[in-house]
Amino acid sequence: MELLKLIGVLIVVIGFVLKKDTIATVVIAGVVTGLVAGMPFIEILNTLGKSFISQRTATLFVLTLPVIGISERYGLKDKAVDLIKKAKGATAGRIISLYLAVRALAAAFSLRLGGHPQFVRPLVNPMAQAAAIAKFDHVDEDTEDTIKGYSAASENFGNFFAQNCFMGASGTLLIVATLNGQGYEVNALQIAMMSIPVAVIAVLVGVVHNAFLDKKLASSVKKGEK
């Protein structure tokens, strides 16, 4: 019966796989978990409301969006192209791989210096786009979208797979509490040590993935020229 309370995790996974609305998926998962746990519906809504009010700082990233828009309007990408042209051997895949490695290392030490609105959108993606433009002179809209996707993925890979390398990370402590609750005696150090190989593999796979991006871009440009 205790395992049934984890149904919310299953709902979140299914919702993300099916690409359903993120907020709706999380809310539904919370409501279902509360009902399974025997909480009154009004208490569930009250808990969700209190959580939203207490975590309003999570929406502060919205303030960065106007800054990013203004920067792009006044030549952020053009300046990125000029900078990348001076860097020999820079490609979209290599730039994204570099950020992936930095992001994973930061997550392993619980240093929150990354994020989609703070780094990927205003810095990583424009630099990767600029590297493609500097190398191929021009990229079409589909290629731009592909680079955006790879740039965003580097943030997800680096943060998700490396954050549990830090013993004090919330994910690490959640795993410890869950396993101990199920009768498996583990500590945060053990979980962190087991997470290191996973983080390293994630970075290596990401680097290979980004290398294929460069080949894909070169191939698409050649086809366009024909």
User: Domain ranges in the chain?
Assistant: 1-54, 60-225
pLDDT of residue 23: 72
Percent pLDDT > 70 in the chain is 82
Find the mean pLDDT for residues 146-175.
Answer: 90
Taking a C-beta distance cutoff of 8 angstroms, is the pair 107, 162 a contact? Answer: yes
Q: Is 124 a residue whose pLDDT tops 60?
A: yes
Q: Is 2 a residue whose pLDDT tops 70?
A: no
What DSSP letter does each residue of 106-163 carry, written as one string?
HHHTT-----IIIIIIIIIHHHHHHHHHHHHS---HHHHHHHHHHHHHHHHHHHHHHG
Q: Is 77 a residue whose pLDDT tops 90?
A: no
The model's confidence at residue 68, banded by pLDDT at 50, 70 and 90, is low
Q: Which of 10-24, 58-72, 98-112 has the highest mean pLDDT?
A: 98-112
Find the mean pLDDT for residues 108-118.
Answer: 78
pLDDT of residue 27: 83
> Token pair of 204, please?
């290596």
pLDDT of residue 52: 64
Q: Is 56 a residue whose pLDDT tops 60?
A: no
Alpha-carbon distance 48 to 54, whole Å? 10
> Token pair of 75, please?
């030549």
pTM: 0.66
pLDDT top residue among 53 and 155: 155
Alpha-carbon distance 103 to 97, whole Å? 10
> Token pair of 208, please?
């290979």
Contacts of 97 (CB under 8 A, 6+ apart): 154, 206, 207, 210, 211
Q: Is 63 a residue whose pLDDT tops 80?
A: no
pLDDT of residue 10: 86
